Amino acid sequence: RIICAPERSHVGYPNLSQGLASLESRGELVRISQEVDPSLEIGAIQRRVYQAQGPALLFTNVKDCKFPMAGNIFGTLQRTRFIFRDTLKTIEHLVKLKVDPIALLKRPWKFAGMPKALWNIMPRKVSTGPVLAKQTTVTKLPQLKSWPQDGGGYITLPQVYTESIEKQGFGHSNLGMYRVQLSGGNYKPDEEVGLHYQIHRGIGYHHAQAIQADVPLKVNVFVGGPPAMTIAAIMPLPEELPEISFAGVLAGHRINMISQPTGLPILAEADFCLTGFIDPERQLPEGPFGDHLGYYSLAHDFPVLKVEKVYHRQNAVWPFTTVGRPPQEDTVFGTFIQELTASLVPTVFTGVHEVHAVDASGVHPLLLAIGSERYVPYAEEREPQEIITCGLLLLGTSQTSLSKYVIICAKEDNPSLSTHDIPAFFKHILERADWKRDLHFITRTTMDTLDYSGINLNQGSKLVLAVAGAKQKELGKKIPPDLSLPNNFKRPTVFAPGILVIQGQPHEKGRDEHDQTVEELGVFLEQSGDLSKFPLIVVADDSEFTAKSWENFLWVTFTRSDPATDIYGVGPFTHCKHWGCRGSLIIDARLKTYHAPPLEDDSEVEKRVDALGAPGGPLHGII
């Protein structure tokens, strides 16, 4: 029987079990005692309960595993706020005081007048902790497999801890959520696991130092523990800010870390800890794995983590989530983090008022922003100048640098506009867009590792689409009566004012190739009629599906296109290496021959999940 410790009466949860006990006492957690399979079934259950905005889940009878699993812990924004209710006002207070977070974490003694909670930024060194109570092996851990083509069992909520080999200690540490493959592939059972970290991540700098010094990089992987550690592991903090310090502020207490004479410190209250090091001479294919873009990330060579020890606490619980096409539980993570950091945006990005990494597009493919346009205040007509600089700044800083499309407009044109009102934002952009001037491409640059739309792994293009000035046009809401299309295109559908979706034939070209049929579509439309009221045209595999909702439109358009390869236009031109078009912009958003396949549920597993929601089942009335 799983016994959760009683809820603490003071600030924060020091470990996972106390957090789960608190949720259960509020009716926010459901126990599932019948046997469930960590291969496909548990992940499918969690996804369905998340979609229903249901409770957290505690699976106490996991097939072929003695450890219980907990999912959907952060499944609603309200529940996430409740978990951190004791410290949200502290963080809000810091933001209102406009405390520089970099100065705070580097020189906390200068902020002695701040709330006492600020002193929680420094982890507490301890000699032992609950996590060291027992040891196990990798193969005895829960082997969660979320999607049919996943390459094996994965840790989906890992906290991967490393330190700089040049400057060791908490102040030069990194805590990141980099997925860890426990089984499958060519890993030696109980000796090796896969470590997949995406480009631009903090662990990469530590790994580069280790490679240059020709020494193994020590790594600890924590699972469970204080809920604040999970949020800290995904916070987009600058490289010089240790995530573990932020975890202390969010938790409302200092994070206990067990000092190790020869290894990295260990999170004392973690439920599990894998200790080891990256083998400097060994890489193996990691994957496939269903990812947050809604597709599989395919197998590629990634570092191998040599496992030395696997510790766990008494009555340890294995927390997990499911990664897939948004919205998923990580949607809540993103929204919560944007709430915490929204007021800091102007501090970090000069001239930028608001940003929105659009979850429906997979987060990194599309970033909406509002900036200032003040460069030439005396000009009779405003045009994009400063906001171009703002867009480039966003592409050069922290996690926003992973964005593929940055669409930015000027606050001065509509001070009440919000990036979170997506229909209004696109309408504002398209009413003012001038494709002869507003498109700014960056080619052959680094890309999100999980984005397969580019010319290679980690490589593709980016687009800053910067719009400013007065409204130029009325947007169309009905298909022009004289619209005709070439033979390869059909089913034109008006999705939103000014946006036309057209269905094309299946893509047949190779990677890094323009498609002549889409170029010919632009020529045909230029000659066949007036589409000036539809400045944006999207070519899709299924126009009805794409135009069904904003979620579908954003997902299809921005995950399935690379700006430099897949953007065409009506009346295109190149002048002094600047590309633009005189008529409508065309985005080829079909699945390409080189794209990874989209995620699909297993129908037999879904039937088993349905049974859990039937009368008498543990999820009746929830799903």
Q: What is the C-alpha to C-alpha distance for residues 305 and 191, in angstroms, rounded to an integer?
A: 8
Confidence bin at 8 (pLDDT 50/70/90): very low
Question: What tens digit of pLDDT does each residue of 176-197 get?
Answer: 999 999 999 999 999 999 999 8
What backbone phi and psi angles, to 5 degrees, belong to 603? -65, -35
Four-residue CA torsion sign, 77, 197, 250, 246: negative
Over range 32-59, report the average pLDDT.
97
State the CB neighbour count (10 A cutoff) for residue 83.
24
DSSP character for 145?
Answer: B
Give the global pTM.
0.91
pLDDT at 530 > cutoff 90:
no
* pLDDT given at position 98: 54
* Continuous segment of H or E residues that includes residue 556: helix 550-559
| Res 348 pLDDT > 80 | no
Q: What pLDDT shows up at residue 397?
A: 79
**Distance from C-alpha of 152 to C-alpha of 193, rounded to nearest angstrom:** 11
pLDDT at 100 over 60: no
Instruction: Give the model confidence (pLDDT) of 471-502 as tens digits.
Output: 999 999 999 888 999 999 999 999 999 999 99
Q: Choose between 91 and 428: higher pLDDT.
A: 428
More confident residue, 122 or 116: 122
Q: How many helices (H) and strands (E) does the chain have?
A: 17, 30
Closest to 437 (Cα-Cα) out of 588, 587, 573, 589: 573
Is 587 in contact with 538 (CB distance < 8 Å)?
yes
pLDDT at residue 73 in the model: 98
- Average pLDDT over the chain, rounded to whole? 91
pLDDT for 11 = 62
- Specify which residues 408 forms β-bridges with: 369, 466
Q: What does the pLDDT average to over 244-254?
A: 90
Q: What pLDDT does 4 receive?
A: 52
Largest CA distance in the chain: 78
- List, in order, residues 6 or more apart from 291 with CB less than 8 Å away: 297, 323, 324, 450
Cα Rg of the chain, angstroms? 25
pLDDT value at residue 1: 45
User: Taking residues 263-283, what's their average pLDDT?
Assistant: 94
What single DSSP character describes residue 424?
A: H
- More confident of the two residues 105 and 86: 86
* C-alpha atoms less than 13 angstroms from C-alpha of 118 in its C-beta half-sphere: 22
CB count, 10 Å around CB of 587? Answer: 23
Exposed / middle / buried, residue 317 (Cβ in 10 Å: 0-12, 13-18, 19+): buried
Q: Could you give the count of Cα atoms lying within 13 Å of 135 in the half-sphere of its Cβ? A: 6
CA 209/CA 137 separation, integer angstroms: 29
Does 119 score more than 90 pLDDT? Answer: no
Is a pLDDT exceeding 60 seen at residue 284? yes
Work out the percent of the chain whose per-residue pLDDT is above 70.
93
Cβ–Cβ under 8 Å, residues 432 and 470: yes
> What pLDDT does 7 receive?
45
